[in-house]
Structure 1
Amino acid sequence: MCGHRLWNESRLPLLKRNHSRLPVMGRELLNDRFKTKEREFLLRMIDDLPVAVMTVELETMLIDYANNTSRALIRSLEHLLPIRADALIGTSIDVFHRCPAYQRHILSDPRNLPHNARIRLGDEVLDLKVSAITDADGRYLAPMLTWALVTKEIEAEKRIGYLAHHDALTGLPNRLIFRRALEERLAVPDTAFGLLYIDLDGFKQVNDARGHQVGDALLRQVADRLRALCGDPAMMLTRLGGDEFAILLPHDHQQPAGWHAERVVAALGRPFDLEQGQTVQIGASVGIALAPEHGEAPESLLTRADMALYAAKEDGKGVARLFSRDLELRVQERTRLEKSLHAALQDRQGLFVFYQPIIDLYSGRVMTREGLARWHHPQRGWVSPAEFVPVAEQCGLIDPLGEFVLDRACRNAAQWDDGAHVAVNISAIQLGRGTLVPAVSAALEVSGLPAHRLEIEVTETALLGDEQSGIQDLLTLRQMGVRIALDDFGTGYSSLAHLRAFPFDKIKIDGSFVRDALTRPECAAVVRAIADLGQRLGVRTVAEGVETEEQLALVRREGCAEVQGYLHGRPMPAAEDAELVARLDEGLGAR
């Protein structure tokens, strides 16, 4: 900040009521220099500035000028100062500083200027800026102080700083602070600590079905439970974002790390009581990585903890898994599989739809053929749907895979002479996203297949994800004429509730009940109860997994209408694909 030469001529004049109190030099300057209307106007302008301005007489360090804004600010701080606003002129500048000698040293020497400082008065904070007033020759005449009350600004700065390092919802340290702590611990020679990577199981379903307000309340309770587990000051808990949390442990031993992870799983597996009597139950999966054994850099340690978390999810969720080299190989293989599946979906090479018949028990007629996705990998050969469908769900390929199956199934069914229906399984991921209905509409339109010949099969567990939007998708399809079947009935969490929520056209009894019905009376009773329920509701029942004549006789006796299983036919390729599939089976590939 440069010297204020203009202010050198205008700093001392005061209102007439203060004229008698001006130092001699001030009165002389007033009489000799400030006689024009322009200068009087300048004085009035400075006096009415919204910026608080004061000047100090250099020899005595007494305040010899203060504009109206300064007086108003002093008036608001009178309860914190030994002076009153009306007595400001002629008061020593020392009243504003705890160390007057230091303040005088700063103000008396222009080499110390400009100078910025913040002064705390009780709960208030003043922001002070001091600059030098000089004459035309550059001679230092006096200091000029501009100042402002910045208490609210300081509070806002602190709040912004807090939010920059903490999660606003839970108050936990955020990803930035976690990453910094991770780097600092890894930078210490011979460091040893553990990392728990936590992901909530079922949180998305709660958040989507009950709203973000319930989801936020749930996350706050999750954070509270995790805090209770992290009583050791050497432990650090953070929310990484979404429904992911992490804990740094002060040791690198497998046994205590596993013990802490099991405590997390147990704590988050208990029901959560929310407002208005709502109770929800979720779970948690945990990946464990140890430093330096599993990584000496933040990225490698985080990646391996994430690999362990992925393994926990694959193993059924609600468990903890420690990273191992085998896991790394599994994840790498999964990544390669994901890339290959993406390529196969792009060029439609190696993908097929096989069909398994569903037979009417009384006429022996093929009523429906279920279309099942099959994939032949260039190097691995046939990949099980149990392996590649979850990959498609997890990496965002389930929609294009579902579109492929729908398109191929409808095209093939349109060519069948017997007029049988075609059934297509729908993944839970496809429901409630706004993609299923357009995909079905497109497949029907392109193939020319009548809507009533298409059956969409959905599992009970699929409806648990977001029941309302999922049911709406199914209602829209049914209004189009598409038939809806409830697959794997009896294995879900609320079978009868789903039957009340939607008028299904068909119920498929899970094959596990049929398989065990001959040796376990309770399984036979389930088959009988579902078949009876179907008859009462006017819904056809299909017994899945029928592989023997004895099983066929049992499901017939229990009242099932249709059967599906290896006894009546294995999944087979469409006629147009039969020759190519045969060559692939022989290892010759396509020529």
Structure 2
Amino acid sequence: MPNNASPVIHIAARCHSSVALMRASLRRFSLLLAGVFLLATCLLLYVSYRLEEAEEVKSLFYIKKAMEAIEDSAGSTVKDYAFWGDAYIHLHREVDTDWAFVRQNAGPTLYADFGFQGVFVVDGADRTVYSVIRGELESVEIADWLGQPIDGVVDQARAAAEYETSVTTVMNVDGMPAVIAAAALTPGTDPTVETDEGPESVIIFINVLDGDELEAIGADYGIRKLRVLAPNEVRSAAILPIGENGSAGTLHWDSENPGKRLLSVMLPMIGMAALIVLLMTWVLLRRTTLAARALDLSHTSLRNSQAALATSEQRFRDVAEASSDWIWEVDAQGRFTYLSERFQEVTGHSRDARIGTGIDELLRTETGTLSQWLRMPKHRPGISTQCSYIDHKGQTRITRLTARDMDGKGFRGTASDVTDEVEARRRIDYLSQHDALTGLPNRTRLQAFLDGKLKAAPTQDSPLVMLCLDLDRFKPVNDLLGHAAGDQVLNEVSGRLAECLRNGDLVARVGGDEFVLILTDVSSQDEVEALCGRLIKSIEQPVVMDEQEVFVSASIGIAMAPTDAREATELLRYADIALYEAKAAGRATWRFYAGDMNVRIIERRQLENDLRYAIKVGELRLHFQPRIRIADGVMMGAEALVRWRHPERGLIPPDTFIPIAEEAGLIAPLSDWVLHTACSSAKRWPEGVFVSVNLSSVEFQRGDVVKRVQNVLRETGFDPARLELELTESVMLEDATGALDVMRALKELGVRLTMDDFGTGYSSLGYLRSFPFDGLKIDRSFVNGLAENEDDKSIIQAIVGLGRALSLTVTAEGIETAEQLELLKAVHCDEGQGYFLSRPLDAEGFDALMASRKLGEQDPVIKFF
């Protein structure tokens, strides 16, 4: 019996002795009840305070998690762009706005798809060299746009480049928090791109969280009116400083105030109870005799009520400690004896129907029955487990259950629905390991899969096979049809790759159009080759979009563990090297990694470094081969031919080092040197003699050819009419519209344009009609067979006639005999060049040749026959 029942029993024992004594006892009883009401009110206030405090902690937890998720997402996104060989080439070595913005590799889609209001690239000198503001290309310093310096973030991003990680921070931008993610631009795992010396450029993504976005974030987590605390706004407990020491501002939100709701319900009830007690006391004072007898009779009832009150208070304290959505209680046999009203609202099940049923019939755990978990060693407050149940709609829901022992009489506790939280975690885990576009595993999932398979120690008889697959002819799909079409092609290819694999194998997307496939339980090399054949055949099937067929192919590089490597990074590198060999072999094929491939890559890189040094220190030399007017032997000009005599390897032919220059990004400085040297040398020649320079199709696509030619003409003071630029048909094949615009701009400078190697392409006639050419050169393959092959003679005669019809100068290359020269003269070919007329000569030899062939000072014409 509770202690506060003793005065009541004492009053009942003396009720017959004296009315006065009864009244005094009633007064003391009233004071005691007043104390009880005061104590209950204080307890209620305390519980309200704890509920408010728990709500604040929960809200703060969700907001912190939301901010962390935003920062993680920004950091992951910037890594995908930073550790990418193409981005390193087009944003670090030089800023190619056509690649980055126009082709949307790092442009408007970052704002439209990911919400980054600011995209910046800061070069090694901490200058902003590329900026996209809300999807628009602008020229603005990042510090000016942010209103504050960002040197610290840039330095941290460069320091993190060694580990291929990004850095994130939160800053205050115009009163709003901005999530800033930065990473240094590196080639990543691309073996064909070498890292330059000097500080890395840093790419920075900025997401300014304005009021609408903050409120949307809060809504996702059940937080009302999430906002930045205004300077004049009253500060409450519901705040979260963000940034370093709150430098990015303070988040504020409206709490649910469960404590206030509890007080609004319970305080009136306590007040009403107090009023009733006062009225009862007044009645008892008026009827002392009857009250004494009634008190005696109600003694037993009072004891039972006090016991129920003690049980209720104990239950209330347990619930307050557990802070739950709904309350439950089971007996020693695990049958429900109590369920709160909230149970029916959350689960949809009837409380009355569940009372008396076993807890295992409703709730299930992954490790065993809930009854077994309850019988584990004593459950202290706070110990919980995760359960699942089927709600009234037949859907599986997840709940977090807490429990405490009732001294062997059963268990009571709380249950909170965490279905949305669990699903959110699963979604975050999935996105962190899968490509957002295709749904295939990404680099993270690939690395984990590889590590697991390599730990299993594959053997020679049961190797682990890696296929590195890159799409051929994919870039024109993006350029001509748009990124939406490119995405559709990638999705279709992803599905086809997955269909070709078996259970237990893996296909991952690791780059724009690059995939990695991991094969297990492969018995022979023939089986791998058969799979490669099926893969290429499947990919080469047309992709139909909007009644248009798109065709792509694939090249595959193959590496095996443990034959080639035992580490994941090495296996990836060797597969990339094999892929490079497959592309060099003509694409749409596959190659297995071999040790000499790595040697060739190293040699090629060394040659690339040597070429870079040769351009820098002037090891290159320019030779000139005369072009003669066939009708009378007058020299009309000379073709400039670059030569490289390596100090150790000797003379290296142009067809060896020109492709290296194109791939290594050295073609522009090499071409600038050739143009400048050729124009400077030709300036000394007689006025009527021109110089012809070849342009690579790779440098022609860069978009700065016109400016570079203009700069050379201005620096050398060379007459544009004496400069001829030779182009191959591949220039038009890559981008006909863009090539036409560049060629028209070059013509406006006053230079001549000639189509080189005419007759070896697919649609040269169409190009001659549409493009502003001044001349064409007949490929040497037709001249070589001129004397023996009547077909070649007819072809040359037709080309000469075509040139005259289109008012083009026709030049024959590779004249090596007098007979060939006479035959060309017979068909009225305009000009010619070749070893029969003159070999290519260095500048001194060419000047000497001109001096020896010059007719005189009064007549500067140079004649060869």
Partner residue in 2 for 1:507:
776
CA–CA separation in structure 2 for the residues paired with 1:199 and 1:74: 60
The answer to whether the 8 A contact 2:325-2:416 is kept is no
Q: Report what 1:4 is aligned to.
A: none
Aligned to 1:257: 528
Change (3 A) 1:448 1:287: same
Amino acid at match of 2:551: Q
Contact 1:57 1:64 in 2 (8 A): no
Change (3 A) 1:30 1:325: same
What residue in structure 1 maps to residue 638 of structure 2?
369
User: How far is 1:61 from its partner?
Assistant: 9.3
CA contact (8 A) 1:236 1:248 kept: yes
Structure 2 residue 349 is the aligned partner of structure 1 residue 82: yes
Provide closer, same or farther for how the CA distance between residues 120 and 513 of structure 1 changes in structure 2, counting only shifts above 3 A. Answer: farther
Pick from 177, 186, 206 the counterpart of residue 454 of structure 2: 186
* Structure 1 segment 98-497 matched on structure 2, within 5 A: 98=364, 101=371, 111-113=380-382, 115=384, 117=386, 119=388, 121-122=390-391, 123=395, 125=397, 128=400, 147=416, 150-151=419-420, 153-191=421-459, 192-230=463-501, 232-250=502-520, 251=522, 253-270=524-541, 272-348=542-618, 350-497=619-766
The match for 2:162 is: none
CA contact (8 A) 2:51 2:323 kept: no
Sequence identity (%): 34
Deviation digits for residues 380-404 of structure 1, max 9, x if unmatched? 0111111111111112211211211
Letter in 2 for 1:482: V
- Distance in 2 (CA, whole Å) between partners of 1:58 and 1:365 is 116
SS in 2 for 1:304: helix
How big is the shift at 1:297? Answer: 2.1
Letter in 1 for 2:480: A
Contact 2:363–2:389 (CA<8 Å) still a contact in 1? Answer: no
Go from structure 1 to structure 2 and tell me whether the alpha carbon gap of 1:311 and 1:34 turns closer, same or farther (over 3 Å shift): same
State how far apart, in whole Å, the 2-side matches of 1:36 and 1:249 are.
69
Query: Does the 8 Å contact 1:193/1:252 carry over to 2?
Result: no
How far apart are residue 547 of structure 1 and its match? Answer: 2.0
Question: Deviation string for 1:177-230 (max 9, x for gaps)?
Answer: 223333333322343133222222222233223322222222223223333332
1:459 to partner: Cα distance: 1.1
| Structure 2 counterpart SS, 1:363 | coil
How many residues were matched structurally? 537
SS at match of 1:568: coil
Which range is displaced more, 187-196 or 440-449? 187-196
**CA distance in structure 1 between the aligned counterparts of 2:640 and 2:36, rounded to whole angstroms:** 101
Is contact 2:399–2:419 with CA below 8 Å preserved after alignment?
A: yes
- 8 A contact 1:505–1:539 mirrored in 2: yes
**1:290 corresponds to which letter in structure 2?**
M
Please tell me whether residue 530 in structure 1 is matched to residue 799 in structure 2. yes
The Cα of 1:269 is off from its aligned counterpart by 4.0
Deviation track 1:386-440 (CA, whole Å, cap 9, x = no partner) reads 1111111112211211211122112112221243222222222212323322221
Q: Is the 8 A contact 1:410 1:449 kept in 2?
A: yes
Distance 1:77 1:398 in 2: 74
When residues 296 and 424 of structure 1 are mapped into structure 2, their CA distance, relative to the original with a 3 A threshold, is same
CA distance in 1 between partners of 2:722 and 2:591 (Å): 46
- For 1:78 and 1:50, locate their aligned partners in 2 and report how far apart those are by CA, in whole Å: 19
User: Does the 8 A contact of 1:361 with 1:556 survive in 2?
Assistant: yes
For 1:228 and 1:534, locate their aligned partners in 2 and report how far apart those are by CA, in whole Å.
Answer: 54
Pair 1:408–1:178, CA change in 2 (3 A): same
Query: What residue number does 2:111 align with?
Result: none
C-alpha separation between the residues in 1 aligned to 2:503 and 2:434? 18
- Shift, 1:369, TM fit: 1.7
- Answering whether residue 37 of structure 2 is matched by residue 31 of structure 1, we say yes
Corresponding residue SS for 2:515:
strand
Secondary structure class of the residue paired with 1:569 = coil
Q: State the alpha-carbon separation in 2 of the partners of residues 181 and 41 from structure 1.
A: 50
Note closer, same or farther for the CA distance 1:42–1:200 as it changes in structure 2 (3 Å cut).
closer
**Partner SS, residue 380 of structure 2:** helix
Where do residues 15-26 of structure 1 align in structure 2 (5 Å cutoff)? none
* Superposition CA RMSD, Å: 4.3
Distance (Å, rounded) in 2 between the aligned partners of 1:156 and 1:557: 82
Gap change, CA 1:373 and 1:217, over 3 Å in 2: farther
One-letter code aligned to 1:274? V
Question: In the superposition, relative to structure 1, how do residues 545 and 33 fare at CA in structure 2: closer, same or farther (>3 Å)?
Answer: same
Shift of the 254–158 alpha-carbon distance from structure 1 to 2, 3 Å rule, reads same
**Residue 822 of structure 2: aligned partner:** 553
Shift of the 235–96 alpha-carbon distance from structure 1 to 2, 3 Å rule, reads closer
What is the alpha-carbon distance in structure 2 between the residues aligned to residue 371 and residue 29 of structure 1? 109
Aligned to 1:50: 256
Larger radius of gyration: 2
Match for 1:422: what amino acid? V
Q: Aligned letter for 1:535? A: R
> Whole-Å Cα distance in 2 between the matches of residues 218 and 274 of structure 1?
9
Describe the SS at the equivalent of 2:608: helix
Structure 1 CA distance for aligned equivalents of residues 764 and 34 of structure 2: 99
In structure 2, distance between residues paired with 1:504 and 1:566 = 26
CA distance in 2, matches of 1:449, 1:415: 10
Is the deviation greater in 541-550 or in 46-55? Answer: 46-55
CA contact (8 A) 1:61 1:93 kept: no
Q: Aligned partners of 2:344, 2:664: CA distance in 1, in Å?
A: 62
Contact 2:627–2:639 (Cα < 8 Å) also in 1: yes
Provide, for residues 149-202 of structure 1, a one-character-per-residue CA deviation record: whole Å limited to 9, x for no partner.
652x44443333222222222222222222333333332234313322222222
Give the TM-score normalised by structure 2: 0.55
Question: How far apart, CA to CA, are the structure 2 residues paired with 1:259 and 1:454?
Answer: 54
Distance of aligned partners of 1:368 and 1:130 in 2 relative to their CA distance in 1, 3 Å threshold: farther
Name the stretch that deviates more: 432-441 or 55-64: 55-64
Q: Which amino acid aligns with 1:314?
A: A
Is residue 51–residue 147 contact of structure 1 (8 Å, CA) maintained in 2? no
Structure 1 residue corresponding to 2:842, chosen from 573, 576, 581: 573
CA deviations on 1:515-542 (whole Å, 9 max, x unpaired) are 2344444444433333222222222222
Residues 269 and 282 of structure 1 are in contact (CA less than 8 Å); yes or no, is this contact kept in structure 2? yes
CA displacement 1:433-472 (0-9 Å, x = unmatched): 2332222122111111122222222211233223333332
Check the 8 A contact 2:387/2:399 in 1, yes or no.
yes
SS in 2 for 1:241: coil
Residue 148 of structure 1: how far off its partner (Å): 5.6
